[in-house]
């Protein structure tokens, strides 16, 4: 329901809304009323139909049909950076080898919450921007641009030409996340769980930082680590403003 509500609140294009015919919760009725007010066709369906369409995913009695989201190409990124006029410096998130759709969706949600201006992913070894990602992202997939690049290391080199400082995360880094400076234009690089960043990606970074771990576990889920890193940027920029 939260993902559908986010779509309606942002007035995103929605072709049709299927709702559980026997449900009459206040929240679901509110969704139906809002959808109809936006001209969305609302169709009651039995639970078995919704279950079959959603498969293993929990649908909470509502399924929205929307046009697919198209990722943007890297030329779009260069054009936006070249014409940058916002008061705050760019904040970008780079995901290297993150192939799990649930992690990708959670990273998008954190990126939106932290005010990131875009997420960069490689053309290969990256999770698709599919329905599961959109559900997990709870509307962030529609608000945060996703840029797909052919060669990640080459794209990172181009980012530097626009004055973007690139910081990668690695457990063996000598510098802590909290020792980094993220007040200027920057990009954070998060690698896949287990393998981390690829060699060329690591070499393309300006600096490497680690997340101090004081417990028994040696690493965090990539989406959790992404949230920690992004909000350190938010903290530093608020203190500097």
Q: What is the per-residue pLDDT across 17-37, written as a single tens digit (0 to 9) for each?
A: 999 987 777 888 889 999 999
Half-sphere exposure (Cβ direction) of 40: Cα atoms closer than 13 Å: 27
Same domain, 124 and 153: yes
Same domain, 223 and 164: yes
What pLDDT is stored for residue 10 in this prediction? 79
Whether residues 98 and 215 share a domain: the answer is yes
pLDDT of the residue at 70:
86
pLDDT of residue 74: 94
Tokens, residue 36: 């109809």
**Alpha carbon distance 18, 21 (integer Å):** 9
What is the reported pLDDT for 184? 97
- CATH number of 80's domain: 3.40.1280.10
Please tell me the pTM assigned to this model: 0.87
Question: Strand pairing partners for 210?
Answer: 176
Q: By C-alpha distance, which of 176, 181, 186, 168 is closest to 222?
A: 168
CATH assignment of the domain containing 13 = 3.30.1330.30
Cα 123 to Cα 132: distance, rounded to the nearest angstrom: 19
Same domain membership, residue 106 and residue 222:
yes
Q: Which domain holds residue 19?
A: 2-65
Query: 104 and 187 in one domain?
Result: yes
Q: Are 137 and 95 in the same domain?
A: yes
Q: How far, rounded to the nearest angstrom, does the alpha carbon of residue 17 sit from its chain's CA centroid? A: 24
d(CA 231, CA 222): 14
Residue after which a domain boundary falls, among 43, 65, 87: 65
In a shared domain, residues 76 and 173: yes
21 and 96 inside one domain = no
Domain stop point among 14, 49, 65: 65
DSSP reduced 3-state for 175: strand
92 and 203 both lie in a single domain: yes
Asked if 118 and 191 sit in the same domain, the reply is: yes
Q: Could you tell me if 102 and 53 lie in one domain?
A: no
Last residue of a domain, one of 30, 48, 65: 65
pLDDT at 215: 83
Residues 83 and 116 in one domain: yes
In total, how many domains does the chain have?
2
Structure tokens at 181: 């400076």
The parts of the chain modelled with pLDDT lower than 50 are none
């Amino acid at each position: 329901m939260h993902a559908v509500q986010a779509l309606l609140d942002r007035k995103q294009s929605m072709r049709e809304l299927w709702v559980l015919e026997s449900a009459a919760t206040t929240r679901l009725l509110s969704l139906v009323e809002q959808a109809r007010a936006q001209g969305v066709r609302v169709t009651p369906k039995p639970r078995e139909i919704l279950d079959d369409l959603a498969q293993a995913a929990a649908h909470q009695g509502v399924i929205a049909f929307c046009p697919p989201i198209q990722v943007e190409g890297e030329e779009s990124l260069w054009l936006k950076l070249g014409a940058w006029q916002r008061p705050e410096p760019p904040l970008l998130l780079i995901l290297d080898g993150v192939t799990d759709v649930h992690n990708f969706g959670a990273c998008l949600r954190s990126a939106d919450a932290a005010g990131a201006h875009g997420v960069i992913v490689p053309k290969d070894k990256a999770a698709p921007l599919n329905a599961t990602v959109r559900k997990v992202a709870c509307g962030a997939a529609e608000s945060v641009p996703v840029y797909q690049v052919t060669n990640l290391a080459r794209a990172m080199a181009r980012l530097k030409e626009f004055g973007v400082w690139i910081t990668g995360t690695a457990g063996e880094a000598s510098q802590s996340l909290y020792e980094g400076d993220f007040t200027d234009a920057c990009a954070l690089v998060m690698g896949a769980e287990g393998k981390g960043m690829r060699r060329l990606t690591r070499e393309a970074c300006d600096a490497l930082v680690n997340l101090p771990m004081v417990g028994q576990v040696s690493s965090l889920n990539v989406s959790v680590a992404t949230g920690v890193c992004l909000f350190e940027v938010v903290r530093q920029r608020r203190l500097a403003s």
